[in-house]
Chains A and B, each alone.
Chain A
Amino acid sequence: MKVSVDQTRCCGAGQCVLTVPEVFDQREEDGIVVLLDPEPAEEFHSTVREAAAVCPTSAITVHED
């Protein structure tokens, strides 16, 4: 699985960070998404898919291998 984020779309809702803090973070200064791990381990795949599905601005893209 490969993950990418679009910081220009992000509205800083933080739901991805609440869902998978191992993969997503937010910038201290404005809450915009930071991708910690573009190729997350298998144990996080289902929650990463969930984070992408519920992102309010569709700023997360998941590419399945």
Chain B
Amino acid sequence: MTTDEQVLNYPFPGETALEPPAEWERLREQCPVAHVRLPSGDQATLLTRYDDVKRVLADPRFTRQLTAPDAARLSAEGGGVFSGEMSQIIPDMGEGHLHWRRLVARWFTAKRMIALRPAMTEIADRLVDDMVAAGPPGDLRAALGFPLPVYVICDMLGVPAEDRDRFSHWSDALLNLTRYTKAETEASQVEFFQYMSEHVTAKRAEPGEDLLSELIAVGPPEDGGLSDLQIVVTGMGLLVAGHETTANMIGKMVAMLLGDRSRWERLLADPSLVRTTVEEALRLDANAGFGLPRYLHEEIEVSGTALPRGTTVICSMASANRDEGVFDAADEMDLGRSPNQHLAFGSGIHSCLGQALARTELQVVLEVLLRRLPTLELAVPQEELRRVEGLAVGGLSELPVRW
């Protein structure tokens, strides 16, 4: 393409769990529109610069129709959140998408999240109690990072948090790149779909005060609501999106802050930095996962390179977030950085619906840990932290800590 005809295997392996792969900087400088080979073996075009990623994510001509016959497949094992049949049930563009988004967005307003704060804090305090009772050391991922967002999203959807191990498994399977076989991912999707269908049927019979009950109460599509199938898929999507990404981010954020303990000390001295610290951790997340794929129905130019119709584009927000042309001292973690216009939640009309929820959960976790465990530290050298492998979302497989 622009300057580099080599086809790189994507995602790039990172040297350590928290540091970015060296390819990002090189590609941003020399080859902002790069050829890559995905885990499926199919080829795609990788964008790594801030301006390109931001523009493409907000441009409706770069569609989310990864089911097109000539679109690159992400995983050889098929399906998944981006290209499975289920991805087509919620309208992904135009008025239909806007209608869906507005019906669901009312549940994720900043005001609602602020109202949820005391309950979230209570859950986080309780989880810290349990971790303290059992340790030190403890695994912060298992003790706090995963359960907190699961409890919160289960409550919003009215599903029992006791089923969280099954949700985790189904969610991993939907986000599969290379961990599971095709048969395993398909079986998980069927089970998950069955579970959520039964749940929606039960809510129809006996409504609660949760998001799914209220979506049902709006009525059928002809009355401005959603079909049962759309409600089921919305529930599945929110359950996956609502816990996996934030759960992983909690672990990565805490690891970044403890990895250089002067950061933790600075927060202890000035807790008013919590809000900007959360944004900076989101920006610097080097282990964010796959990025966002888009599919082109027409030829479009990006950074001087013509992308032909039928191209699958992968937007690396994590690379874009380290673009020196946009962020001063882009590789430095500046806990007070403002404004911090990172792209961790995407950009444009498809930007993350649950971002206010994710931000609030991350802020609450940090506040509670600073208050309860000021002596918190990593229980292993930072280099020994391991990544979650084989999924489209990135995280740490465990986060050993002591206090």
User: Footprint of B on A, CB under 8 Å?
Assistant: 11-15, 17-18, 21, 25-26, 28-32, 46, 49-50, 53-54, 56-57
Contact = CB atoms under 8 A, between A and B. Distances in A.
B110 A56 contact: no
A13, A17, A29, A49: residue with the most chain B Cβ atoms closer than 10 Å: A13
Given A14-B108, A28-B106, A31-B102, A50 B338 contact: yes
A12 B105 contact: yes
Nearest to B107: A31
Interface string B314-353: 0000000000000000000000001111000111111111
Contact of B340 (A21, A26, A31, A54): A54
Dominant SS at the B interface?
A: helix
Interface string B346-376: 1111111101100110000000000000000
A59 B46 CA distance: 28
A41 B338 CA distance: 20
B142 interface: no
B58 interface: yes
B339 A54 contact: yes
A49 B339 contact: yes
Contacts of A26: 109-111
Contacts of A49: 339
**Which range contains the number of B residues in contact with the other chain?**
20 to 34
Interface of B: 58, 101-103, 105-106, 108-111, 113-114, 275, 338-341, 345-353, 355-356, 359-360
Which 7 A-B residue pairs are closest in the complex by CB-CB distance? Answer: A17-B110, A31-B105, A14-B110, A30-B102, A53-B339, A56-B351, A14-B356
B225 to A, nearest CB: 13
A57 B341 contact: no
Given A32-B102, A54-B341, A15 B348 contact: no
Given A13-B345, A18-B110, A56-B347, 8 more contacts: A12-B109, A13-B352, A15-B359, A18-B356, A26-B109, A26-B110, A49-B339, A50-B338
Contact of B109 (A11, A31, A54, A56): A31
Nearest to A49: B339
Given A17-B111, A50-B339, A54-B339, A11 B106 contact: no
A44 to B, nearest CB: 14
A58 B52 CA distance: 16
B111 A13 contact: no
B101 A25 contact: no
A61 to B, nearest CB: 15
A53 B111 CA distance: 21
